[in-house]
Amino acid sequence: MKLTTKIVAGAAALALLTMAVGSLQAQVTQVLTITATASIQGNSSDNNTITTYASPTKFSVTTKVILGALAVDEHAESNYLAGSTFPSGAKLVTINNNNNTNDFQVLDKNGNLLVDVSDILSFNQPGENSIFSGKQNDSTQLASPSTVGSQLLTLSFDDTGIPGGEGVKFFYTGIGTGTTTDTTPNVNTGVYTETDNGSLTSGTGEGTSQGTQLLITGTASATGKGTLTYVP
């Protein structure tokens, strides 16, 4: 199937940010990096004549900060029983499913699963348009060697429904651009290597932190490489 036909048909699996259009077998684990800056509503005071609103406070959001919040949240949900912090070296990853969704997981430094956090973190595609380029093998539908795709992408975080959680929710939307590179599958085993790299740039959005409104800008990037098997 031609690349453009696949896009129109919506059959392309959107590997997180990578638009792995041909990777029907692809389940590459990608390490996710989040960087964002938020401005939160400041306090106000009223002396019965003038109401004064304080300047908004800026704060930072990084992958480590997100991991800290996720540990608290998942512990509160009894999904992660080892404590309310993850061990040093824990990493946030996303795994593309074949049904256009992503799983989000926290792995320890050795790659072992600590907890699935897909109930809090998510990606979705709010738009309808996609722009693709590159070469795709008509037979295997794998990148040959690489494809690049862009479309609107939203990163969402919401733990407000978790009693004892951090009480944070936000989303930001930007243009997600991803590159998928595939090697040619081995003729005997079908084994090939896929490299996925993606980024969400200039994301803007909003949310709340413990009920206080905030506006947020941010980026996200994901990178991963996996050895996969092509099954005709």
Partner 1 sequence: MNSKVVAAIIVLALGAFGLAVYFSRPVNPSPDGNASVDSAAAPAATNPSPAKVIYISAPSPVASTPPVVATPSSMPATNHAAYVQERNAELMSLAMNNDSNSLNTIWSELSNADPEIRAGALAAVVQFGDRSVTPRLRELAAQTPDTAEKAEIIKAADFLDLPSLTELHRPPATNAPQ
Query: Between 44 and 129, whose beta carbon lies closer to partner 1?
Result: 44
**Which residue matches tokens 């998928």?**
180
* Rounded Cα distance, 94 and 105, in Å: 6
Task: Tell me if 222 contacts partner 1 by CB under 8 A.
Answer: no
* The only residue of 47, 78, 81, 89 in contact with partner 1, by rule CB under 8 A: 89
Contact status: 209 vs partner 1 (CB under 8 A): yes
Per CB under 8 A, 197 contacts partner 1 = yes
Q: Is 211 in the site for partner 1 (CB under 8 A)?
A: yes
* Closest by Cα among 93, 98, 117 to 15: 98
Q: Confirm or reject binding of residue 226 to partner 1 (CB under 8 A).
A: no
State yes or no: residue 124 binds partner 1 (CB under 8 A).
no
- Which of 169, 175, 163 has the alpha carbon at shortest distance from 206? 169
Near partner 1 by CB under 8 A: residue from 33, 100, 118, 137:
33
Report the alpha-carbon angle 75-81-87, nearest 5: 85
Q: Establish if 213 lies at the interface with partner 1 (CB under 8 A).
A: yes
- 43 lies in the site for partner 1, by CB under 8 A: yes
Q: Is 42 among the residues that bind partner 1 (CB under 8 A)?
A: yes
- Residue 215 binds partner 1 (CB under 8 A): no
Q: Using CB under 8 A, pick the residue from 24, 65, 175, 215 that binds partner 1.
A: 65
The span from the CA of 181 to the CA of 23, in Å, is 10
Which range of residues in 5-13, 73-81, 97-105, 180-188 is near partner 1 by CB under 8 A? 180-188
Q: Would you count residue 204 as binding partner 1 (CB under 8 A)?
A: no
Which of 2, 58 has the CB closer to partner 1?
58
Q: How far is CA 177 from CA 93, 150, 198, in A?
A: 17, 4, 6
Q: Considering just the CA atoms, what is the radius of gyration of the chain in Å?
A: 20
CB neighbourhood size of 204 (10 A): 13
By the rule CB under 8 A, 199 interacts with partner 1: no
> Residues 199, 221: contact at Cβ < 8 Å?
yes
- Contact with partner 1 (CB under 8 A): which of 166, 182, 194, 196? 166
ω into 87 cis (within 30 of 0):
no
Rounded Cα–Cα distance for residues 112 and 201 (Å): 29
The count of chain residues that interact with partner 1, using the rule CB under 8 A, is 48
CA dihedral 125→95→17→32, nearest 10 degrees, is 120
- Interface with partner 1 by CB under 8 A: which residues? 31, 33, 35, 37-38, 40-46, 51, 53, 57-65, 67-69, 88-91, 109, 166-168, 183-188, 195, 197, 209-213, 223
